[in-house]
């Protein structure tokens, strides 16, 4: 989950590396560092604990220049968050300098080997071990970087994206990948490597995606790829154009990315819907490649995801069973890979990931494929690892999302899942034509209704002051409302550090109600007409025990007598209520975070893409 950036070109590398790290800081902000090298000079390595601004301050005023370099923003795994453990790491004589994203699982075994070879270690990291192992093979066999890297990596277990510089090759930056994301970008008179696209969008939108077990190097005007045999495979790689705009990662008028991305949701949802719905209101997935015969044969659907993507999957679970008459199991990807239940061969596995690099989700997908199950990826990043290995792909069009707490990516996942559900239901003749078009029009109306919902932010901001000192908050709801509760609870806890929990409202009597007492905050979500009476009964139970109830519901719903505060969203078909109900909760979490003096973009201990176990 660390951020890596590399550069080789004509310009001074330092400002380019720092800019790239600024765009990747959402991937890790425990510490940061850069290494810059020039012909004939000793390298410069500068590291700083904490936020990137600490590194920028440390670098300012330095006169060292170099045209090749590496940068790294760290999310700690092995070793404490301090300057010593910060990347880049190097061999004792600076022969090999490197940065790393991932985990080398057998690093202690490799370290013991190197200790016997008289190597010494200054950090607690697995990264220092792999750098010095590469150095060991490079010197022992007097071989070039290709063979030295390969010899080291075939002995390393785990995941890695590596950026490397060798003393004997000052005009090159080397790379290697297994299980952690890495891209190579080609610009004018320069080449780049990075963990993610935002790092290089200012310079170029032409990228290569590095596949597992590939290594290579970048020079000012050259990119080379090699396989584990050392064979040059450059001519097999495709240069891809990224359609994101360079200014899409700029804050503009906003102080924080999270607020910007909340406000971008109407446009992002509309882009996603327009990609799949034609002017006549017919849903088409031109790149999907799934036949009607295959869809008609489906008896079961599995959904695998983590975090917010999992919560979007739970919404889809309700929708698909309701509209398409197909049994659905939505599973946490991080748990499914340890399960041993028999999968129905007449099924489809849907995997959901914003980045397309989520390790647990990828492994769940590969397990499904190993069981002979076709896989469909719903993802925001074309060319990502999951999309390359999935059988079918549906893309969201959220654009780059920088804040760690997802908002617009989640909303776009919901939009794609709505459309896929309707597409599946119509294909299986489970939905009448008129009802199909009615629901399609409801989906098409969502961007305007989301825009209307966002405009109520001042009401939510006022309410947020009542949550600032809370230590516990409970979300309750039934059916789809319970799925919304799960996402709302996650939003609140991850950026405000308030202990929030989501419960199916019907479970209150089974233990949770014992925690209700004076001043305890409960957010009750009630958007499902068939279930509102039951949810209101739960709200009354809480209120009678002196709990403070906030009701989140649609306009024209009577909840004033059963709640202390009310938040209303526009009327919408209950099947699609998640798209509106989640907006005030996103805003509430954002404003509570500000009230507490926190940075909503960078919650502690979290990173945007979870690419390690």
**In the predicted model, what is the mean pLDDT of the chain?**
89
| d(C-alpha 130, C-alpha 152), whole Å | 7
List pLDDT tens digits, range 350-361: 999 998 888 899
291 and 405 both lie in a single domain: yes
596 CA to centre of own chain: 25
The predicted model gives 262-291 an average pLDDT of: 90
| d(C-alpha 12, C-alpha 4), whole Å | 18
How many other CB atoms are found less than 10 A from the CB of residue 32?
Answer: 33
How many other CB atoms are found less than 10 A from the CB of residue 574?
Answer: 19
Contact assessment for residue 453 and residue 583, using Cβ atoms and an 8 Å cutoff: yes
| d(C-alpha 93, C-alpha 95), whole Å | 5
285 and 197 both lie in a single domain: no
β-bridge mates for residue 218, sequence order = 173, 223
373 and 340 both lie in a single domain: yes
Contact assessment for residue 103 and residue 158, using Cβ atoms and an 8 Å cutoff: yes
| Least confident stretch, 40-44, 67-71, 181-185, 201-205 | 40-44
The answer to the question of residue 379 being in a domain is: yes
Q: Please name which of 78, 75, 63 lies closest in space to residue 124, comparing C-alpha atoms.
A: 78
The predicted model gives 139-167 an average pLDDT of: 90
Q: Please name which of 124, 461, 401 lies closest in space to residue 256, comparing C-alpha atoms.
A: 401
The answer to the question of residue 177 being in a domain is: yes
Top mean pLDDT of 127-141, 301-315, 547-561 is at 301-315
61 and 187 both lie in a single domain: yes
- Please tell me whether residue 308 adopts helix, strand or coil conformation: helix
| d(C-alpha 262, C-alpha 154), whole Å | 44
| d(C-alpha 386, C-alpha 546), whole Å | 48
* Residue whose tokens read 């009630």: 526
508 and 579 both lie in a single domain: yes
Banded model confidence at residue 366, pLDDT cuts 50, 70, 90:
very high
- The sign of the CA dihedral 153, 158, 162, 165 is negative
Please report the pLDDT score of residue 240 as a whole number: 86
The predicted model gives 526-531 an average pLDDT of: 91
Please report the pLDDT score of residue 542 as a whole number: 78
In this predicted structure, the answer to whether residue 320 has a pLDDT above a threshold of 90 is yes
In this structure, what is the dihedral angle of CA atoms 220, 222, 223, 228, given to the nearest 10 degrees? Answer: -110
The predicted model gives 296-303 an average pLDDT of: 94
Among 213, 248, 283, residue at a domain's last position? 248
Please report the pLDDT score of residue 244 as a whole number: 76
| Least confident stretch, 73-82, 90-99, 161-170, 460-469 | 73-82
105 and 185 both lie in a single domain: yes
| d(C-alpha 560, C-alpha 551), whole Å | 8
List pLDDT tens digits, range 386-407: 998 999 999 999 988 889 899 9
The predicted model gives 104-128 an average pLDDT of: 91
CATH number at residue 63: 3.60.20.10
The predicted model gives 147-176 an average pLDDT of: 91
Question: Which residue range forms the structural domain that includes residue 558?
Answer: 454-600
- Please tell me whether residue 69 adopts helix, strand or coil conformation: strand
Among 219, 248, 277, residue at a domain's last position? 248
Please report the pLDDT score of residue 78 as a whole number: 66
The number of residues making up the chain comes to 613
189 and 305 both lie in a single domain: no
278 and 203 both lie in a single domain: no
Query: How many domains is the chain built from?
Result: 3
Please report the pLDDT score of residue 208 as a whole number: 92
**Does the active-site annotation cover 113?**
no
Contact assessment for residue 535 and residue 559, using Cβ atoms and an 8 Å cutoff: no
**CA distances from residue 222 to 169, 203, 213, 308, 386 in whole angstroms, order as listed:** 14, 16, 20, 39, 27
Please report the pLDDT score of residue 536 as a whole number: 83
Q: Please name which of 583, 606, 604, 595 lies closest in space to residue 470, comparing C-alpha atoms.
A: 595
Percent with pLDDT over 90 in the chain: 59
Please report the pLDDT score of residue 28 as a whole number: 67
**Does the active-site annotation cover 608?**
yes
Q: Collect all residues with Cβ–Cβ distance below 8 Å to 308 and sequence separation of at least 6.
A: 354, 406, 409, 410, 413, 487, 490
The answer to the question of residue 605 being in a domain is: no
- Please tell me whether residue 599 adopts helix, strand or coil conformation: coil
152 and 285 both lie in a single domain: no
Global confidence as pTM: 0.85
Among 426, 444, 462, residue at a domain's last position? 444
The answer to the question of residue 214 being in a domain is: yes
Tokens of 128: 């220092």
Q: Which entry of 2, 90, 394, 485 is annotated as an active-site residue?
A: 2
The predicted model gives 578-593 an average pLDDT of: 97
In this predicted structure, the answer to whether residue 611 has a pLDDT above a threshold of 60 is no
DSSP helix, strand, coil percent of the chain (3-state; round to 5)? 40, 25, 35
321 and 197 both lie in a single domain: no
In this predicted structure, the answer to whether residue 612 has a pLDDT above a threshold of 60 is no
| d(C-alpha 243, C-alpha 468), whole Å | 40
241 and 371 both lie in a single domain: no
Please report the pLDDT score of residue 497 as a whole number: 95
| d(C-alpha 75, C-alpha 30), whole Å | 6
| Least confident stretch, 171-185, 186-200, 243-257, 567-581 | 243-257
The answer to the question of residue 145 being in a domain is: yes
| Least confident stretch, 36-40, 350-354, 518-522, 571-575 | 36-40
In this predicted structure, the answer to whether residue 469 has a pLDDT above a threshold of 90 is no
Whether residue 349 has a cis bond before it, omega within 30° of 0: no
How many other CB atoms are found less than 10 A from the CB of residue 356?
Answer: 26
588 and 573 both lie in a single domain: yes
Please report the pLDDT score of residue 609 as a whole number: 59
List pLDDT tens digits, range 42-99: 788 999 888 888 888 888 878 788 899 999 988 777 667 788 888 899 998 899 999 9
Banded model confidence at residue 419, pLDDT cuts 50, 70, 90:
very high
In this predicted structure, the answer to whether residue 382 has a pLDDT above a threshold of 80 is yes
Tokens of 503: 């419960």
Higher pLDDT, 556 or 488: 488
Contact assessment for residue 199 and residue 192, using Cβ atoms and an 8 Å cutoff: yes
Please report the pLDDT score of residue 613 as a whole number: 56
CATH number at residue 458: 3.40.50.10490
Banded model confidence at residue 318, pLDDT cuts 50, 70, 90:
very high
Contact assessment for residue 365 and residue 358, using Cβ atoms and an 8 Å cutoff: no
The predicted model gives 200-207 an average pLDDT of: 88
**Sheet with 499-504, side-by-side order of all strands:** 499-504, 472-477, 521-526, 548-554, 565-569
195 CA to centre of own chain: 12
Higher pLDDT, 179 or 417: 417
| d(C-alpha 443, C-alpha 412), whole Å | 12
């Amino acid at each position: 989950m660390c951020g890596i950036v590399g550069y080789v070109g004509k310009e001074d590398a330092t400002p380019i590396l720092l800019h790239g790290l600024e765009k990747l800081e959402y991937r890790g902000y425990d510490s940061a560092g850069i290494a810059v090298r020039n012909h004939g000079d000793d390298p410069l390595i500068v590291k700083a604990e904490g936020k990137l601004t600490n590194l920028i301050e440390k670098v300012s005023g330095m006169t060292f220049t170099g045209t090749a370099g590496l940068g790294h923003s760290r999310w700690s795994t092995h070793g404490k968050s301090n300057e010593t453990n910060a990347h880049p790491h190097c061999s004792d004589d600076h022969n090999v300098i490197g940065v790393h994203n991932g985990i080398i699982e057998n690093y202690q075994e490799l370290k013991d080997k190197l200790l016997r070879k008289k190597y010494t270690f200054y950090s607690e990291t697995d990264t220092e071990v792999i750098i010095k192992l590469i150095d060991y093979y490079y010197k022992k066999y007097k071989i070039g970087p290709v063979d030295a890297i390969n010899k080291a990596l075939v002995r390393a277990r785990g995941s890695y994206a590596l950026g490397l510089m060798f003393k004997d090759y000052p005009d090159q930056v080397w790379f290697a990948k297994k299980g952690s994301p890495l891209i190579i970008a080609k610009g004018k008179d320069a080449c780049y490597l990075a963990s993610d696209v935002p790092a290089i969008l200012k310079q170029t939108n032409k990228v290569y995606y590095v596949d597992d077990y590939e290594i290579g190097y970048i020079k000012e005007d050259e990119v080379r790829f090699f396989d584990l045999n050392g064979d040059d495979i450059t001519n097999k790689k495709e240069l891809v154009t990224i359609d994101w705009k360079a200014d899409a990662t700029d804050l503009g008028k906003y102080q924080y990315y999270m607020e910007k991305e909340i406000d971008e949701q109407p446009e992002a949802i509309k882009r996603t819907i327009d990609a799949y719905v034609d002017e006549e209101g017919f849903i088409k997935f031109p790149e999907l490649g799934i036949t009607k015969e295959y869809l008609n044969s489906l008896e079961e659907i599995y959904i695998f995801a983590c975090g917010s993507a999992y919560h979007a999957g739970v919404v889809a679970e309700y929708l698909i069973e309701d509209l398409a008459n197909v049994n659905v199991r939505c599973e946490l990807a991080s748990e499914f890979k340890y399960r041993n239940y028999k999968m129905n061969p007449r099924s489809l596995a849907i995997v959901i990931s914003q980045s397309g690099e989520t390790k647990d989700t990828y492994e769940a997908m590969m397990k499904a494929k190993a069981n002979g199950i076709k896989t469909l990826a719903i993802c925001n990043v074309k060319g990502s690892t999951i999309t390359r290995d999935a059988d079918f792909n549906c893309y969201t069009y959220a654009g780059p999302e920088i804040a760690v707490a997802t908002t617009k990516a989640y909303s776009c996942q919901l939009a794609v899942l709505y459309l896929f559900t309707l597409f599946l239901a119509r294909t299986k003749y489970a939905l009448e034509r008129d009802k199909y078009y009615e629901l399609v029009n409801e989906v098409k109306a969502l961007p305007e209704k989301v825009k209307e919902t966002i405009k109520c932010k001042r009401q939510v901001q006022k309410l947020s002051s009542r949550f600032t000192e809370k230590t516990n908050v409970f979300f309750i709801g039934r059916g789809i409302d319970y799925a919304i509760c799960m996402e709302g609870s996650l939003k609140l806890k991850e950026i405000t550090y308030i202990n929030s929990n989501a419960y199916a409202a019907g479970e209150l009597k089974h233990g949770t109600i014992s925690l209700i007492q004076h001043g305890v905050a409960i957010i009750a979500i009630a958007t499902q007409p068939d279930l509102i009476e039951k949810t209101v009964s739960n709200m009354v139970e809480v209120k009678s025990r002196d709990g403070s109830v906030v009701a989140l519901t649609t306009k024209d719903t009577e909840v004033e007598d059963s709640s202390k505060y009310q938040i209303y969203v526009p009327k919408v078909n209950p099947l699609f209520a998640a798209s509106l109900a989640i907006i005030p909760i996103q805003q509430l979490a954002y404003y509570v975070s500000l009230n507490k003096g926190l940075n909503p973009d960078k919650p502690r201990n979290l990173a945007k893409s979870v690419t390690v176990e």
